Amino acid sequence: MGAYILRRLLLIIPTLIGIMAINFAVIQFAPGGPVERIIAQVTGTDVSATERISGGGSDFSGSGAGQSGGDAGDIGSKYRGAQGLDPDFIKDLEKQFGFDKPPLERFGNMIVSYAKFDFGDSYFRDIGVLELILEKMPVSISLGLWMTLISYLISIPLGIRKAVSDGSRFDIWTSAVVIIGYAIPGFLFAVLLVVLFAGGSFFDWFPLRGLVSDNFDALSWPEKILDYFWHLALPLTAMSLAAFATTTLLTKNSFLDEIRKQYVVTARAKGLTERQVLYGHVFRNAMLIIIAGFPGAFIGAFFGGSLLIETIFSLDGLGLLSFESVINRDYSVVFATLYIFSLMGLLISLVSDVTYMLIDPRIDFESREV
């Protein structure tokens, strides 16, 4: 067991480097970039910027962008919209963003810094990348953790009940509800919840903005807890819809497959009660596939799955941060979030494998090849 965990931990290193290398190479060929964005703002052609330039303590809207002759033509051929700008100004931009160095050197420096969890500063925000990520983390942790927990706590018992009563009236009508819930996009259901319960057209029962109220610090602890879940009620409901359906059907099918096996018939023949058979024998084997899907479900809810929900409910989390960073070409934030969530995904996958053994000791990791 220990040797397997060590091998998996060592395998994380080349895997992370490979993930970062592929995305770094893609970025090199992607059109646009931070330098082009500054040029567009200086020349007044940037219509997508959401924030003024404040990174690095410099403001490039002044005289540094004065026009010059010389090799301005060469600059213009390298950066779109740079014709007529001072070449020294363009070189200063390249130096600030690190583009004055060859790509391999930039990638090597990035990997070394990331290994020490030094992510530098945001290109376009006057704040360190790690500090920015930690600032957005509570929203994403709240959405991802509670959504996954609620989904599993409801879906697993429901899936077991559906498997035991397969073909019954209960199984049929719950399957209809689950399938309808799965067919409704989460963001569309979120809009419906806003219209119905957040002051849209009917009731104004729930808040529409933020994770907590403005007077949160003045509330007592019980009131803080209630306020926290009051703000999370609608986002979690919208996010849990699809995950709830998927986990329920997966649990049911997994239990049905195990219930029909010979060892269950043998256990019943020995005189064990249905509860002993179900939770003493079937549960351990059927839950393996559910646990296998946990890392993907958690990471998906924690990161990518919350983007639209964060936007609809005005929750400033990591999903929204990553999207805005890509749009604004804030590559320092893009690569930092990619690195952190890739690392989290690999570690959670390892935890999932270790959990296999805790549920079913027959699984031997020592004899497995990585």
Name the pTM for this structure.
0.71
CA separation, residue 148 to residues 297, 355, 370 (Å): 7, 17, 28
pLDDT at 317: 82
Report the chain's C-alpha Rg in angstroms: 26
pLDDT at 60: 41
Question: Which is more confident, 305 or 270?
Answer: 270
Q: Across-strand partners of 198?
A: 204
**Is residue 88's pLDDT more than 50?**
yes
Residue 343 lies in a domain: yes
Looking at residue 31, what DSSP letter applies? S
pLDDT at 137: 83
User: What's the structural domain count of the chain?
Assistant: 1
**Is residue 64's pLDDT more than 70?**
no
| CA-closest candidate to residue 190, choices 158, 147, 224, 141 | 147
Average pLDDT on 106-123 reads 89
pLDDT at 170: 92
Question: Which is more confident, 367 or 69?
Answer: 367
Question: Among residues of the chain, what percentage have pLDDT more than 70?
Answer: 78
Residue 285 lies in a domain: yes
How many alpha carbons lie under 13 Å from residue 196 in its C-beta half-sphere?
8
φ/ψ region of 14 (left if φ > 0, alpha if ψ in -120 to 50, else beta) reads alpha
Per-residue confidence at 360, pLDDT binned at 50, 70, 90?
Answer: low
Residue 110 lies in a domain: no
Residue 280 lies in a domain: yes
Question: Among residues of the chain, what percentage have pLDDT more than 90?
Answer: 8
pLDDT at 57: 40
Residue 106 lies in a domain: no
Per-residue confidence at 85, pLDDT binned at 50, 70, 90?
Answer: low
Average pLDDT on 42-53 reads 52
**Is residue 337's pLDDT more than 80?**
yes
Residue 295 lies in a domain: yes
**Is residue 307's pLDDT more than 60?**
yes
pLDDT at 203: 82
Average pLDDT on 134-148 reads 83
Report the C-alpha gap between 14 and 306 in whole angstroms: 29
177-186, 321-330, 354-363: the lowest-pLDDT one: 354-363
CA separation, residue 218 to residues 139, 223, 337 (Å): 20, 9, 33
Average pLDDT on 148-172 reads 88
Question: Which is more confident, 359 or 247?
Answer: 247
Report the C-alpha gap between 312 and 124 in whole angstroms: 24
pLDDT at 114: 92
pLDDT at 81: 54
Tokens found for residue 341:
């969530």
What is the Cα 132 distance to its own chain's centre?
15
Per-residue confidence at 86, pLDDT binned at 50, 70, 90?
Answer: low
Q: Within 59-128, where are the H helices?
A: 72-78, 87-97, 103-115
Per-residue confidence at 21, pLDDT binned at 50, 70, 90?
Answer: very high
**Is residue 199's pLDDT more than 80?**
no
Mean pLDDT score across all residues of the chain: 78
Residue 290 lies in a domain: yes
- Domain limits at 353? 131-141+156-170+244-359
Per-residue confidence at 112, pLDDT binned at 50, 70, 90?
Answer: very high
Residues in the chain, how many? 370
Per-residue confidence at 181, pLDDT binned at 50, 70, 90?
Answer: confident
Average pLDDT on 3-11 reads 85
At residue 184, the 3 state secondary structure works out as: coil
Residue 1 lies in a domain: no
44-58, 149-163, 201-215, 330-344: the lowest-pLDDT one: 44-58
pLDDT at 20: 92
pLDDT at 22: 93
In sequence order, the 6+-apart residues with CB closer than 8 A to the CB of 356 are 288, 291, 363
pLDDT at 19: 93
Per-residue confidence at 298, pLDDT binned at 50, 70, 90?
Answer: low
pLDDT at 73: 46
Per-residue confidence at 39, pLDDT binned at 50, 70, 90?
Answer: confident
Question: Which is more confident, 297 or 254?
Answer: 254
pLDDT at 111: 92
